[in-house]
Amino acid sequence: MLRIQTVHLINQLKECFTATLVNQSIAKHLFTLAVDPVPNIRFNVSKTIEAVYKDLNNANKEEARQVLEKMAGTDTDFDAKFYAQKTLESCVAAAQ
């Protein structure tokens, strides 16, 4: 319950976070949760990465891309794969 609430709170409070906080703490937490055993957490991580993507530095953007590609390619849950692919496409489009 704490893990999903954490993801939802990050989404709700993202406007209050500085880019430094997002890059030094929140991104790493999201990347860790991307391999959570609960599919609901994994697909919400994808949505949250999309929400904070603009604040990520280049290194974290690259790590986010790698995390999303792995989820989109190998995740066992249909929804987790779907949202990872959707977020990946959105973030790549935003980068161009």
- The CATH number that applies at residue 6 is 1.25.10.10
Range of the domain at 31: 2-95
| Rounded Cα distance, 84 and 4, in Å | 17
| pLDDT given for residue 96 in this prediction | 58
Q: What does pTM read for this prediction?
A: 0.91
pLDDT digit string (tens) for 20-79?
999 999 999 999 999 999 999 999 999 999 999 999 999 999 999 999 999 999 999 999
Closest CA to 63 of 88, 80, 85: 88
How far separated are the first and last CA of the chain, in Å rounded?
A: 37
Number of domains comprising the chain: 1
Largest CA distance in the chain: 37
SS3 sequence of 11-36: HHHHHHCCHHHHHHHHHHHHHHHCCC
Distances (CA, A) of 75 to 9, 16, 17, 18: 24, 31, 29, 31
